[in-house]
Structure 1
């Protein structure tokens, strides 16, 4: 049974908000960025075959293994071919992720990168040239993807059940993020026209639309 996190009476119905333990990872959605992580205990982000951050940066920068370049130089070259942001993980009584780092040096550190190639950005926006303004817009999208993934790995994924006279009349799952502004508001809107039979597939589509 899912964990109940909130319950209220609303327009003759009972709305119940639960944690969703079986939610689909946001990395399965259609993302602009690719999230590459390395961790000894957790499988995070998208699957990849890079043994190390250096190997990844060399591949992204299209630099041979024989080139004697520092990590900073490799990253600088990689950024010429992509929109690239560092990704940090905080691991203490739960997981958290961001692109700016955490204040605790003992339980946090860089865990990988999120990136989009210049070609992917051009295709996404239907342009021939990646301007500075477009690069900044792409960076904002990548940051948003990490915010969503942070909520997912932190367990902030919810679903609602609407009941009337003790019977379930509607349900929807896979809402990522703050349940009050996402899951609960959707549940309230669904009450007047709620209908049974909400599928997980349609729930996931709604979750993506409101992530």
Structure 2
């Protein structure tokens, strides 16, 4: 597997690689109270929908537990999802109307989210990354090429890059102590 990015932090070599083992959206994004309600046929997102119809979604929202947003999708080679406020003058979120449209709803719990539209679009950014295969892992090796650490399943490049840098820094801080305990010199 070829590295997407490599960089050194002192005497450690970090490689960022594509993770092709993260196939399940719920596993990739973890548990979340935000609900995707897509009615697209043959869509992974439709499999996550626990509602049978738009009427069921609206009935749930009338209980006051969720703030609903329209779920729009743009697909042309890759895919992009975004949330738009329902009601009133709904602005169209994409410039291309041929490859885009409203495919369902995204529901954000009323409790716990000060900016529900921002929360919806942040979540959809991760969904978009997952749908486009932007799943990564990293390895960290010493200057002899011995792998010291690795971690996989990061959705979005910025997250794996940040985690890899933090892990390398943590190794640099703790490695001398571990060598000392083992009776080895640095």
When residues 60 and 186 of structure 1 are mapped into structure 2, their CA distance, relative to the original with a 3 A threshold, is closer
Q: Deviations over 1:124-145 (max 9, x none)?
A: x4xxxxxxxx6x5233222221
* TM-aligned CA deviation for residue 26 of structure 1: 5.2
**In structure 1, C-alpha distance between the alignment counterparts of 2:71 and 2:34, rounded to whole Å:** 12
Q: Answer yes or no: is the 8 Å Cα contact 1:162–1:170 preserved in 2.
A: yes
- Label 1:186 to 1:137 Cα distance change in 2 as closer, same or farther (>3 A): same
Taking a change above 3 Å as real, the CA distance of residues 79 and 139 of structure 1, as seen in their structure-2 partners, is: farther
State the shift of 1:43 in Å: 1.8
RMSD between aligned residues: 2.7
Shift in Å, 1:85: 0.6
Equivalent residue number for residue 31 of structure 1: 32
Q: Secondary structure at the match of 2:21?
A: coil
Q: In structure 2, what is the Cα distance between the partners aligned to 1:80 and 1:139?
A: 19
Q: After superposition, where does 1:9-158 map in structure 2 within 5 Å? A: 9-23=8-22, 25=24, 27-28=26-27, 29-44=30-45, 47-48=48-49, 50=51, 55-56=53-54, 58-62=55-59, 78=61, 81=64, 82-100=66-84, 101-116=93-108, 120-122=109-111, 125=112, 137-158=115-136
Q: 1:103 to 1:25 in 2, by over 3 A?
A: farther
Deviation at 1:154, TM superposition (A): 1.8
**8 Å contact kept, 1:87–1:113:** yes
Paired residue secondary structure (2:70):
strand
TM-score by length of 1: 0.64
Equivalent residue pairs, number = 160
1:171 to 2:160 alignment = no
Per the TM alignment, residue 184 of structure 1 is displaced from its structure 2 partner at its CA by 1.9
Superposed CA deviations along residues 11-56 of structure 1, whole A, max 9, x for unmatched, are 11211001111226554422221101122342216523555xxx22
Q: Secondary structure at the match of 1:191?
A: helix
Whether the aligned pair in 1 keeps the contact of 2:67 and 2:107 (CA below 8 Å) is yes
Gaps of 5+ in 2: 85-92, 173-186
Cα distance in 1 for partners of 2:170, 2:15 equals 17
